Amino acid sequence: MSNAISTSLTRLLGIRYPIIGAPMFLVSNVEMVVAISEAGGIGTFPALNYRPIEKYRDAIAEMKALTKKPIGVNVIVNKSNTRQNEDIKIALDHGVELFITSLGSPATVIREAHKNGAKVFCDVTNLEHARKVADLGADGLVAVGTGAGGHAGPISPLVLVPWLAREMKIPVVLAGGVAVGSQIAAALSLGAAGVHVGTRFIASTEAGVDLAYKNAVVQSTPEDIVMTTRVSGTPAAVINTDYVKKIGTDLPLALRVLKDHGLTKKYAVPLIHWLGMRSLEQAATSSAGEKPSWKTVWSAGQSVGLVNEIISCREIVENLVAEYHVAVAALPR
């Protein structure tokens, strides 16, 4: 086992390495969370990966039975998630140590988590949002920059992280593009307390998605990643498959008009979200039934260019840490 890397993040959570296995819709599962936490990082998953809610309860119970190390849950905190309160309660009842919030206000999660001593990190893409969540009592920030998988932010992590680290007093974790250990050295030198790694873990043996999706991550270059609003209405990073090229990366005009119009926005946004999520779900699990095809929507970030093989989550964490130590030792004195 490599030397531990001690930062404010590892001390806060009681973990060995400052590596969060980021929550990924349709990708993260029990096996990944347990393997990442057991390897010394912290595994996390979106609560909504387990539906209905009984499956979510069983998944958390299973994780907690398989590892004594901390784990994390991602709760979508906007109104479209009607399960929010139950998701939080079940996690707390099982002693989940970390919550990661995305979209919407994290006020409820922070209040409930703190009653149990759990920590809350909030996804942010700028200083204004960082200040809001810090005022609500967030324990840390996930600074989501350009190049990230999922809903990437518009600011380069090279700027976003030192900016937030300078202005804010709570730990800042860098999200966006991290797949090799030299980037952890870079992140820590920018003032980050750790890294939030998504895309790299799609190409893991444990990920519950189709092999064609994992192979696409291994084979793609950063130039194959495009931003599309067709998935959820908000720009999201996807692999530019033939299917994505065919359907385009903009919402159809009709939906765009509905979304931008005050009267219909309320109904159009959840509809767009649902339509997008349905196509993602069909793509990610296409082996169930029809053959996987390149005609699908696969979410991933620019770090695909740094991913060359499908390996276990433990190996991914160990490689990141070993590469970090090599990178630090190789820096000019």
Which one, of 138, 193, 183, lies nearest residue 162 by Cα?
Answer: 193
**Cross-strand bridge partners of residue 124:** 143
Residue nearest to ligand FMN (CB): 198
CB 296 within 8 A of CB 282: yes
Q: Which is nearer to ligand FMN, 149 or 194 (CB)?
A: 149
Q: Which is nearer to ligand FMN, 175 or 268 (CB)?
A: 175
- Shortest distance, position 196 Cβ to ligand FMN, whole Å: 5
Please list, in sequence order, all residues whose beta carbon lies within 8 angstroms of the beta carbon of residue 55, skipping any fewer than 6 positions away. Answer: none
- Shortest distance, position 262 Cβ to ligand FMN, whole Å: 28
Q: Which is nearer to ligand FMN, 78 or 264 (CB)?
A: 78
Q: Which is nearer to ligand FMN, 144 or 258 (CB)?
A: 144
Q: Which is nearer to ligand FMN, 205 or 264 (CB)?
A: 205
Distance, first Cα to last Cα, the chain? 26
Q: Which is nearer to ligand FMN, 132 or 256 (CB)?
A: 132
- Residue 143's φ and ψ, nearest 5 degrees, are -85, 105
- Shortest distance, position 157 Cβ to ligand FMN, whole Å: 9
Characterize 256-282 residue by residue with b for buried, 16 or more Cβ atoms within 10 angstroms of its Cβ, and e for exposed: eebbeeeeeeeebbeebbebbeeebee
- Shortest distance, position 145 Cβ to ligand FMN, whole Å: 8
- Shortest distance, position 248 Cβ to ligand FMN, whole Å: 20
Cα angle vertex 87, ends 75, 193, to 5°? 35
The SS3 assignment for 199 reads: helix
- Shortest distance, position 227 Cβ to ligand FMN, whole Å: 13
- Shortest distance, position 102 Cβ to ligand FMN, whole Å: 3
Instruction: Give the pair of three-digit tokens for residue 39.
Output: 């390897």
Q: Which is nearer to ligand FMN, 71 or 258 (CB)?
A: 71
CB 303 within 8 A of CB 178: yes
Q: Tell me the DSSP string of 112-131.
A: HHHHTT-EEEEEESSHHHHH
- Shortest distance, position 265 Cβ to ligand FMN, whole Å: 22
The SS3 assignment for 144 reads: strand
Q: Which is nearer to ligand FMN, 32 or 170 (CB)?
A: 32
Distance CA 109, CA 99 (A): 8
- Helix, strand, coil in percent for the chain, rounding step 5: 45, 15, 35
Q: Which residues bind ligand FMN (CB under 6 A)?
A: 22-25, 27, 46, 74, 102, 123, 144, 147-150, 175-178, 196-199, 299-301, 303
Distance CA 327, CA 319 (A): 12
CB 47 within 8 A of CB 75: yes
Q: Which is nearer to ligand FMN, 69 or 200 (CB)?
A: 200
- Shortest distance, position 158 Cβ to ligand FMN, whole Å: 14
The SS3 assignment for 132 reads: helix
Which one, of 7, 4, 6, lies nearest residue 173 by Cα?
Answer: 7
